Structure 1
Amino acid sequence: MTRITPNSSFSLTLRLHLPNQPGMLAKATAAIGEAGGNIGDIELIEQERAYTVRDLIVDATSEEHAHAIAERVSAIPELKLLQVDDRTFQIHQGGKIQIVSKIPLRTRSDLAMAYTPGVGRICMAIARNPERVYELTIKRNTVAVLTDGSAVLGLGDIGPAGALPVMEGKALLFKEFANIDAFPVCLSTQNVDEIVETAVRISTVFGGINLEDISAPRCFEVERLLQERLDIPVFHDDQHGTAIVVLAALENALKLVDKSLASVRIVINGAGAAGIAIHQLLTAAGARAIVMCDSHGIVSAGRADLNAEKRAVAVEQTGALADAMAGADVFLGVSKGGVLSRAMVQSMATDPVVFAMANPVPEILPEEAEGVVAVMATGRSDYPNQINNVLAFPGIFRGALDCRARRVNLEMKMAAARAIAALVSPDEIAPESIIPSVFDRRVVVAVSAAVQQAARATGVAR
């Protein structure tokens, strides 16, 4: 049975009261190791002659595993488990973002300029020349992170309140990586017209709209309608952010195996928002042989259950995922965990490339594919080659906002992908190094510059 690597998504702080004697801490760490936990930091909180109190950071593989680790430690007779904290829940207490004032208010004079009566002069200046809203308000650096909560991560339709922590997290990433002020907008409707109308009505405040976690096929229509009605960039990150990072990583992976995008046979498993967008961007980049699969197997032209987006990518071949995989060069998974077997990977062409991007459980774990893949990538941060949208959307919006682009077009997406790929130099490309780290601060700068250049070249910048 494959053993899943513990990770910080299921991370605990164990506060232990230990006799101040040699070997007591070792008993605790041994118990954690035997239970399958990974130990991080160990902090001394208190030390007296007879006892010590320490905090141990421990990663687990699931909530059940975390509970089992705590139970194993609490069973040691000499120790007292004083407290168990779930570190992920801790960092979400009270939310992850806040609004902070840019100016001090210390005197009546400050107040009179920042608010009434002085603010009235600013209002009239914008009323006379609406373009000055970009100069005199938050609009030029503010993005709405908009969702209806219908397709949240791999959790499905959990509603707008359930989606809010993800939207907060997105806003946090915008700020940390691109210094963009973003705000969650979680709508209590899944009606396309109502979503579009609401977005249009609030758009005055925002310089761009990032659509997030809206289920397919409605997400395609929502984005299309908003792009038609608004003159600010509207970008569905689940579609295009994923596709951009996949293209960047795939270009570098194919260099390793000495294959070209035009010559490889690609299987995309998952025909939702991300899968369709990946197909579209790879085709634009030169891919010629792509087979898409969904939960019913190959998206074939003879099927009667296809929506318009699936019909546009349907092929003549029929069968199941296993049939599609035979002889394929590349597998791109944006579906669900565990659907790809080692045998399917073994049926692929020489030097197969596998991107298993389902979260939190990939289509196949790297441990299961070890020895039969040439290049492996996942959507997880605890494995090499993480395909993470944070490599794309902060820089894309930074560039689009800075040049006041009216939309994010194909050329801007292609430019972003190429900029990301180019940050891994030819001598750095390796099976576990095909994509930059999400913490590489060059990424936003490079993507922003490339996006602005493409926007100006295609006439969508202002």
Structure 2
Amino acid sequence: MKNLKERALEYHKNGKPGKIEVIPTKLCSSADELSLAYTPGVAEPVLEIDKDKEKAYEYTAKGNLVGVVTNGTAILGLGNRGALASKPVMEGKAVLFKRFADIDCFDIELDTEDPQKIIDTVKLMEPTFGGINLEDIKSPECFIIEKTLIEQCNIPVFHDDQHGTAIITTAGLINASEVAGKKLSDLKVVVNGAGAAGISVAKMFVKAGVRIENLLLCDRNGVIFKDSEDNNSEERSLFAQDTDLRSLEEALVNADVFAGLSAAGALKPEYLEKMANNPIVFAMANPTPEIDYKLAKSTREDVIMATGRSDYPNQINNVLGFPFIFRGALDVRATKISEGMKMAAAKALASLAKEPVPKEVISAYGQSFSFGPNYIVPKPFDPRVIEWASVAVAKAACEEGLAKYPIKDWDLYKQELKERMKKHWK
């Protein structure tokens, strides 16, 4: 049997190179249809949009089109490989947007590390898209880019490495704490990894109910504390504690939660042994976790474990987030993706994991699942995710006054989502 490298390269090379193509949605097989698709008929929607910019959502693909934008400086597990090398990842994101939420995408790789150039370029492209998914941009530049674009753009801008990871991890934490018999407000939490994902996870944990004084943020040098040399950004300073603890090992003594967004092997078995009863471990470094799943289980039978991998229970996979978050945001023409919309998605995913799984999940994975230590987040191939997460996001946008096109009939919207996705679940 061929190894993963051989199979992956063949997958991307065979047939048409890459993973995406553009397919027209209207017929153009006669002279009459040609005159409608282009000149002279195309002048009519141009004039309508010129009079009312919102008409672009009626006459163009803008309302269902997301730009996936990167410069390739922080490719998951691979680091800075540049804009061109990031293209397979961005095409992959486009596939997932389409497969799980029927959203069309253009992948855009920008050959610059200058955050202002990225900001200017994306801002200039705003008329093209209904939303922007920022991806694989290193910190701290990613914070600056996203914050500025949210302020300047009137469409949703979402950095998935930060918020997608945080949303799924928070859904997992809500359920893992319940399985462990602990309250969020009582948890002692250690987040290892102070980059974009780690800081976003820490922020969302606090919004979910973890007390900030009970959360320690660590980087490769250990605990980030008051007056630390590593306390060198606004984001890090939010979590700089007044503590004598310095190493990750010291931080984990009696800790309830380890959330790793760092490097392979960072969580040693002897560190895990020092954690509290029913420890919750999110080892999300890819492709090799902070601690191997089997090693963690052999070290502590009571560990509640999640990783970023699909071959172990409880995969923390961003595909549970970004397609459905954008689906809900696009469907109400949200002007932004708010903290409330993100938390709504996390809570919806946590709730769905408590429901009996449908036959589609059993078929996709060859087994059934039930809420407990080995099933704290839903599976991506659960067709109900779009109904739960997208509806929750859309409702939150409407409640917060961020929807330019509020939904009136939620039952009808759920049915429309089901109908929309039927072709993808055949």
Tell me if the contact between 1:257 and 1:374 (Cα under 8 Å) persists in the aligned partners. no
> Aligned partners of 1:184 and 1:205: how far apart in 2?
13
> Aligned partners of 2:11 and 2:26: how far apart in 1?
27
**% identical equivalent positions:** 46
Tell me if the contact between 2:334 and 2:397 (Cα under 8 Å) persists in the aligned partners. yes
> Aligned partners of 1:181 and 1:173: how far apart in 2?
10
Q: Which residue of 210, 219, 230 corresponds with 1:294?
A: 219
| Deviation of 1:226 (Å) | 0.1
Range with greater deviation from structure 2 (304-313 or 150-159): 304-313
> Aligned partners of 2:32 and 2:321: how far apart in 1?
43
| Deviation of 1:90 (Å) | 1.2
> Aligned partners of 1:129 and 1:311: how far apart in 2?
45
| Deviation of 1:131 (Å) | 1.0
Q: Alignment length, in residue pairs?
A: 382
> Aligned partners of 2:38 and 2:340: how far apart in 1?
42
- 1:98 alignment partner AA: E
Tell me if the contact between 2:68 and 2:106 (Cα under 8 Å) persists in the aligned partners. yes
Number of the residue aligned with 1:369 = 296
Q: Deviations over 1:166-218 (max 9, x none)?
A: 00000000000000001111101111110000000011110000000110111
Number of the residue aligned with 1:262 = 185
Range with greater deviation from structure 2 (314-323 or 418-427): 418-427
Number of the residue aligned with 1:430 = 372
Could you say which structure has the greater relative contact order, defined with CA pairs below 8 angstroms and 6 or more residues apart? 2
2:29 aligned with 1:106: yes
Number of the residue aligned with 1:45 = none
2:395 aligned with 1:453: yes
Number of the residue aligned with 2:418 = none
Q: Deviations over 1:220-262 (max 9, x none)?
A: 1100000010010000000001000011011111111100110
Q: Aligned runs of 1:267-416 on 2, under 5 Å?
A: 267-288=190-211, 289-305=214-230, 306-317=232-243, 318-371=245-298, 372=300, 373-416=302-345
Tell me if the contact between 1:140 and 1:401 (Cα under 8 Å) persists in the aligned partners. yes
2:51 aligned with 1:128: yes
- 2:10 alignment partner AA: Q
Tell me if the contact between 2:296 and 2:303 (Cα under 8 Å) persists in the aligned partners. no
Q: Which residue of 71, 82, 102 corresponds with 1:159?
A: 82
Tell me if the contact between 1:145 and 1:183 (Cα under 8 Å) persists in the aligned partners. yes
Number of the residue aligned with 1:72 = none
| Deviation of 1:350 (Å) | 0.8
Tell me if the contact between 2:344 and 2:392 (Cα under 8 Å) persists in the aligned partners. yes
Question: Hey, which bits of structure 1, 4+ residues long, moved more than 4 A?
Answer: none
More helix per residue: 1 or 2?
2
RMSD of aligned C-alpha atoms?
1.2
Unaligned runs of 5+ in 2: 357-369, 405-426
Unaligned runs of 5+ in 1: 1-11, 14-58, 64-85
Which structure's CA Rg is the greater one? Answer: 1
TM-score (norm 2): 0.88
Q: Aligned runs of 1:212-231 on 2, under 5 Å?
A: 212-231=135-154
Q: Which residue of 89, 102, 114 corresponds with 2:9?
A: 89
Q: 3-state DSSP class of the match of 2:185?
A: coil
Tell me if the contact between 2:193 and 2:260 (Cα under 8 Å) persists in the aligned partners. yes
TM-score (norm 1): 0.81
> Aligned partners of 2:101 and 2:334: how far apart in 1?
17
Range with greater deviation from structure 2 (299-308 or 95-104): 299-308
| Deviation of 1:302 (Å) | 2.1
More strand per residue: 1 or 2?
1
Q: 3-state DSSP class of the match of 1:314?
A: coil
- 2:93 alignment partner AA: K
- 1:182 alignment partner AA: C
| Deviation of 1:87 (Å) | 1.3
> Aligned partners of 1:145 and 1:395: how far apart in 2?
15
